[in-house]
Amino acid sequence: MITPATLRRTVSAALEEDAPWGDLTSTALLPASADATADLIARESGVFSGGEVFAASFRLTDPEVRVDLHVADGDRFEPGDALASVTGRARSLLTAERVALNFTQRMSGIATLTAAYVDAVAGTGARIADTRKTTPGLREFERHAVVSGGGGNHRRSLSDAVMAKDNHLAVLRQSGHDLATALREALSRLPHTTHVVVEVDRLDQIEAVLDGGAHTVLLDNFSLDDLRAGVALIAGRATVEASGGVSLDAVRAIAETGVQVISVGALTHSARALDLGLDLRVG
């Protein structure tokens, strides 16, 4: 969910970045009284995300601009579809155009890629989730786009869950601490609502993680055979998550091993922006 404060702060920062002292071209060339309407047109198929952000880009530029969204976040579209329309002063529309498109193209690209992963694992029971591999400052927008595509969100930040990864485990080993004991001690100090995830990269690490009371065991970069073995070994004692270089071609086979969650960093760090255009109609 994109909070109103984050929406205003992030979009305002983008508008200021793009026109720190105003839109020199539009102000110099266009009559202040000129009105226009622009349509957001899809140049390719995809899944829409970012309608609220698109609208805010224009309304924060000029509160008198009218924005009509023709699709909702999560809707699929085809080339040529009109996704939204904006009407107002031509100067305002052209000033906000690039920021509005940048956000919407980026978010729709993430939603579209996420939907492809979700479609690929349909019927397996596995859930596709994002990671913290997001663009700094845009996490709420990108996580929202993942949900638009049918995916789920992982922990929002380092403050939201315990997630012990390979480097944490390496420090424990170097310090002479037993993993199971360290987990039990951590759980005794944490609120009872805190979720604990531990990443492992070998099957022989799993029993200690379970003994320590972890709620989720993350099997990182496991082969398909080892994923199946890990699922069997855990046997319902914790949620099983798979991660590590998960490609669209491989994700169905991973899901069919019986894991419950597949976290995919590519949803946010490798999604390309979709080709959307803003076609202006004057008069």
Catalytic residue positions, numbered:
98, 133, 165, 199, 220
- Token pair, residue 46, equals 């995809």
- Is the dihedral angle over the CA atoms 95, 101, 106, 108 positive or is it negative? positive
Tokens of 269: 């760090």
The number of angstroms, rounded, from the C-alpha of 250 to the middle of its chain's C-alpha atoms is: 20
Give the C-alpha separation, 19 to 122, whole Å: 44
Residue 195 is given by DSSP the state -
Q: DSSP assignment, residue 123? A: T
Nearest residue to 216 via CA among 172, 173, 253, 165:
165
Grouping H, G, I as helix, E, B as strand and the rest as coil, residue 152 is strand
- For 241, residues 6+ apart whose C-beta sits below 8 A from its C-beta are 129, 197, 216, 217, 218, 219, 259, 260, 261, 262, 263
Judge contact between 57 and 102, C-beta under 8 A: no
Kindly list the distances between the CA atom of residue 52 and the CA atoms of 100, 171, 212, 279, in Å, as whole numbers in the listed order. Answer: 10, 43, 43, 19
Q: Which DSSP string corresponds to 18-87? A: H-BTB-HHHHHHS-TT-EEEEEEEESS-EE---HHHHHHHHHTT-TT-EEEESS-TT-EE-TT-EEEEEE
